[in-house]
Structures are given as C-alpha cells and as structure tokens.
Amino acid sequence: MDFASSETAPERSLAPLHSTAMHGLKIVVIGGFGVGKTTLVRSVSEIRPLDTEATMTDVSEGVDDATAVPGKSTTTVAFDFGRITLDNEHVLYLFGAPGQQRFWFLWDRLFTGALGAIVLVDQRRISDSWYAIDRLEHQGTPFVVACNDFGDSHGPEVVRDALDLDPTVPLLMCDARSRESSKQVLIALVEHLYSAVPQGETV
Ligand SMILES: Nc1nc2c(ncn2[C@@H]2O[C@H](COP(=O)(O)OP(=O)(O)OP(=O)(O)O)[C@@H](O)[C@H]2O)c(=O)[nH]1
Ligand SMILES: [Mg+2]
C-alpha cells in the first residue's frame, strides 16, 4: 500500500482519482459527540474534504454538552467525506458520522456498504462511544478503536476494559489532528479487515 509510505499530504486540489482505481472501500468514522471524527477525516483526506459543519448556537445549550471540548464551535449535521488512495487499484472513501444523538438516524445510511469502521474515543468520556460499538457489534461490522489525544490517558487496558472490547479488536492511541497518526489508524483498520479474510479471497 503506497499511502503508508507517503510522508506529506499531496496538494489536495491536484489529487485526481487514479484511472486504474477499480475498488472503492467504504470506511465509516464514528464515536460520540466531539471526539474528533471530522478532524480525522480532514487531516488524512487527500482531497479537500466535504464537511457539513453548522455553527453551534445558544440554542444547543443544555442539549449538546461541549464542556469537554471548549474550543468547539461547530458540529457535523450530516457527514464528512474524504478519500485516500491505497494503491493503484484500491481507494478508501471515508465517511465521518455526526456525533449528536439527534442525528444518529443518519448512521443507517452511512453504514450501507461499509467494509469497516473506526471508533474514536475521548478517554475523558469513554461511555460516549458505547453506542457506536454496540451498533457495530450488532451489525457485525469489523472495526478498530482509536483513542484520540485530549491529554488525559488511562492506558489501553483500562479503555479496553471500559468498552468491554473483544480481544481481537485492535485498539490504538492517536492524534486526529496529525495526518501521520490518522494514517496509522487507517492502516490498522485495513490490516484488521485483511486479517479477517480467508486466504485466497479479497476484501
Ligand atoms: N486536543 C485535541 N483536540 C482535538 C483532537 N481532535 C480534535 N480536536 C478538537 O476537538 C474538537 C472536536 O473535534 P471535531 O472533529 O469537530 O469532533 P467531531 O467528533 O467531528 O464532532 P461532532 O461531529 O460534532 O460529533 C475540535 O475543537 C477539534 O479541534 C485531538 O486529537 N486533540
Ligand atoms: Mg464532526
């Protein structure tokens, strides 16, 4: 996979889809409100990402608890969309879900055709990502868990216990603001997807 070795982001406006691209793999980024889903899609996408951010106003007070992310002034109201090329034939399409409960009904559509998912977790409020994990386990969608860096780390074993994660589910630390770190999360997911495929079959 050549994206693993590229250190710098390509010029986003000059990142046409390879004419040899034949397989699009849909990946969903989910998790609780304000855990960094949009940030991850933005940092790793090779195209200028599409996002649907709306400004949070006083009306959301008491509805959206943004106390853990005080700098947050916008929220996703539909989805984020980005792209990253794996190799000449394979392309990942990234869909970032909205985190607020009132938009969870959109998740059904976002999951359609998804091969796998990234669950982002803020370690200060681990329980906010329980619902996402329940959904994925129920649907049988493979996923990895990535703990985003908000400065308060309990360590992977504590998070694994708190989420009651199956031992086969990869769990890693990340900083969604960093392209390199976000890339490592995607690599972990792709490797996890491939490890689940019987020899001789393709994802
Ligand atoms: N310290 C720190 N802040 C981050 C990190 N990732 C994102 N943020 C900040 O956290 C806030 C929330 O990030 P978003 O990417 O909007 O979160 P989201 O999960 O898309 O939020 P919703 O779509 O509203 O659920 C923003 O102010 C980001 O700048 C990180 O790794 N570390
Ligand atoms: Mg968002």
Enumerate the domain spans of the chain.
Answer: 23-52+77-196
pLDDT for 72 equals 81
Contact 129, 121 (CB under 8 A): yes
Query: 10-residue block means of pLDDT along the chain (203 residues)?
Result: 51 73 90 95 92 78 71 87 90 94 89 96 94 94 96 89 95 97 96 80 64
Find the residues whose C-beta lies inside 6 A of ligand 1.
33-39, 69, 71-72, 75-76, 98-100, 148-150, 175-177
Between CA 83 and CA 17 the distance in angstroms is 9
Rounded to whole angstroms, the Cα distance separating 5 from 2 reads 6
Query: Which residue, judged by its Cα, is nearest atom 7 of ligand 1?
Result: 36
pLDDT reported for residue 10:
55
CATH top-level class of 23-52+77-196 = alpha beta
pTM above 0.75, yes or no: yes
Q: Measured from the CA of 75, which atom of ligand 1 is nearest?
A: 24
pLDDT of residue 78: 87
Mutation to probe ligand 1, out of 30, 38, 106, 110 (largest number of atoms < 8 A from CB): 38
The Cα 142–Cα 196 span in angstroms is: 9
Say how far apart CA 140 and CA 154 lie, in whole Å: 28
